[in-house]
Structure 1
Amino acid sequence: MDLMTAALNFVVPPASLVMLTFAWPTLTFINTCEWIYNTFFTSEDMENKVIVITGASSGIGEQISYEYAKRRANLVLIARRENRLRGISENARRLGARHVLIMAADVVKEDDCRRFINETINYFGRVDHLVNTASLGHTFYFEEATDSSVFPILMDINFWGNVYPTYVALPYLRQNSGRIIVNASVENWLPLPRMSLYSAAKSALVNFYETLRFEVKDDVGITVATHGWIGTEMTRGKFMVEEGAEMQWKEEREVHVSGGPVEEFAKLIVSGACRGDPYVKYPSWYDIFFPIQGLCTESLVLDISVSFDKWWTEKNLLHWDWKATSRDIS
């Protein structure tokens, strides 16, 4: 058995790569045909559908709200910054949203999640899409952290902040063959320096939803949206965490930060969710790193990650520090 295992370890990886090379054109053709069919013939009409969006006060959540508004959906916008939600709700109405409810709530508290889902049901009588976008990133080396109290906060927001709304909304989503949309990240499988806790939380999140697919079967759809570097409020150093700790730029908080256009990513997410896509990826070329990671040596993968970290640092995108502040995130 040991000899057979050793032989398989040697033969299977290159054989699989050869098979994938020959199958790639056919798979690409099939995927393209499915995309065309789903886009023009089976895309879900969102008019009068009820969409619950968490983390809607900024960034990806805000832009997703506008995309659903253009499709004339009914919106329920959830965040802790109610003052921000008021302006976003007005924008959404101007873009075409039929009705917009705003609620201040904390997605890491099950009671808050139960409250906003129950209020949605009481007002609209249904939930069609649950969009989980509340997220919190970091860019510090693990051993450089001076306040470990932020560790559970990062895990709570990025993991439990998705699980609790899903847990409460799932029975209502089943009634309407609804869909859950998840804001994930390429770091869930591509390790990069300075993102250890964020990557761990996103990995747990993606594995949770991949398992949930099997449990809900065809009753509820799940779209996992994976992104690389996105120019959101988080990347501009404007977010705050729990009482006692803040991560922000060592330089100016208003420093210019480049990143992928969040509007484009939001449009891809909503279009993919309406088509029933299981995955939305932005940018899609990140996928090439997945087979590279599996086939290359550990030292090469490490060199790639370190080189990327060095480039990012030189662009002044990763200089963060800690200081006391109050809590203020989506």
Structure 2
Amino acid sequence: MAGNSQRRGATRKAGSKKGATVGTGGKNRRALEGRGPTPKAEDREYHPAAKAKAAAERRAATTRGTSGRPSASASRSAAGSKGGRKSSTHEIVSGRNSVVEALRAGIPVSTVYLASKLEADERTREIISTAADARYPLLEVSRAELDRLTDGSVHQGVAIQVPPYAYADEDDLLDAAEESDRPALVVALDGVTDPRNLGAVLRSAGAFGAHGVLVPERRAAGVTASAWKVSAGAAARVPVARVTNLVRTLQAYKQAGVFVVGLDGGGDTQIGDLPFATDPLVLVVGSEGKGLSRLVREQCDAIASIPIASSVESLNAGVAAGIALYEVSRTRAS
């Protein structure tokens, strides 16, 4: 009933009003201060990230030469030079055959993961032996944890974590050419999205003395574990520069005195008569399907084609780059 002061809760008893606690002296405020920010994972001694960081530092120390400076491969696997950029994420390689191939190819490894109670065979013994010799952090984890790390892929109880690749700067490639006392030889990839093609190009570039490879940041393959494996270790020796705009980079190279030759079907010359082979040179390889883009093609001083038996078939980027690099090497040696 309205105005019924006898209803329970309608009146407050004397002294029931809440107020400040007498004599707290800031006790509650001090209880909220906490212990400061949580340390980074790499600063926590028993965290896998801390072990991976320590292993990377040990590997960098062992690759230093007598001059006390780290080797070029160690620099690329640990940090970029002259403003080089790192890829943003780690990559997990899983499966016994894949891990063995990756370790044989010399892929830098942050951590080796083995499932607990793993049944040993020849491949797992090689993985453990290689990891021990290279002092890679080796962690035994549950199969459930491996399932989580590999996103549910078939891992066969084995996986490795590959650190981010440290890309070089485009000027580093010209600096390397200047230090070598040989005309610059660089391969640029235009729209090549398969990392295995990038790995094949790296392998050919290492075999024929190229000073590096240019790849665009967008819509192009980067240096992943797949590229490392196909390159057969060449990714540790041949720098890869990732550029924001390939057209502007080619323009800057031309201003520096470098000629640009594109590889595409129906070119104005054949690969056997490759122009500018003895001059500072950038070989531009397009994708297998679309070839060179219009803007990149406009920057080329010449377009060279590789004669093949059928007009329908085409060569992938890795094969085309290998043939062109061989022709440049043969011409320069003659």
Larger Rg: 2
Structure having the larger proportion of residues in helix: 1
TM-score, structure 2 normalization: 0.27
